[in-house]
Amino acid sequence: MTELRVSHLIDEADEMLDNKFHVGSYCFFMNIDDVQDILSKIRAILPEEIKTAEMILKRRDDIYMEAQSRADRIISEAQNTASNILSESELIRAVREKATKIQEQVKESCEEMKNKAAQEAEDMRRAALKEAIETKEGAQAYAQQVLDNLDRNIAEIHRIVKNGREYLSNQKDRRREMPVRETQNEKAYTEQ
């Protein structure tokens, strides 16, 4: 569920980047605050990924304890059953041997179940942790990319503003020089 929310937020940010405002060959974003808000939401969701991994670890421990408890219960029941049946005769001895074999089979079966449950829980924990790390790294890389783009855009806007100021300053200087030139031109014309 968190993966879908993170993915959805990243898609929203991507859509905002696609909906930018163009003036000539320059590109401006309409609302930087929206992009920053989405990045904050992504950062807030990442701890949930870690909680999910912790829940998986707890589930692994619960499965392990349940398997151990089941194994102990089965062994105890087998021992109680064997104790109730024991006797000195050959029949009882055969039953003892069979009970021991069953007990060993149960121990092996329980041990296999316990090992399998522990392995599955460990695999789930590793997968969840890997996914959480990849999600976090992807979000950080995406955030870095967005910030780099914003930095380039701000630098470009700064350059445009600087050029605009220089242009206006040049226009102002030309307007100041025009009356002097017109007066000089009038004098030259009247002298001819």
Rounded distance between C-alpha atoms, residue 70 and residue 178, angstroms: 101
Question: How much is the pLDDT for 29?
Answer: 53
Residue 1: alpha-carbon gap to chain centroid: 12
Is residue 30 helix, strand or coil? Answer: coil
Question: How much is the pLDDT for 158?
Answer: 94
Contact of 20 with 28, CB cutoff 8 Å: yes
Write out residues in the chain with pLDDT < 50, as ranges: 1-2
Q: Provide the token pair at 173.
A: 């200087």
Question: How much is the pLDDT for 1?
Answer: 46
Question: How much is the pLDDT for 161?
Answer: 92
Token pair 């421990």 is found at 61
For the entire predicted model, the pTM comes to 0.32
Contact of 78 with 42, CB cutoff 8 Å: no
Residue 124's Cβ-count burial label (10 Å; 0-12, 13-18, 19+) is: middle
Q: How many other β-carbons are positioned within 10 Å of the β-carbon of residue 138? A: 14
Rounded distance between C-alpha atoms, residue 105 and residue 6, angstroms: 48
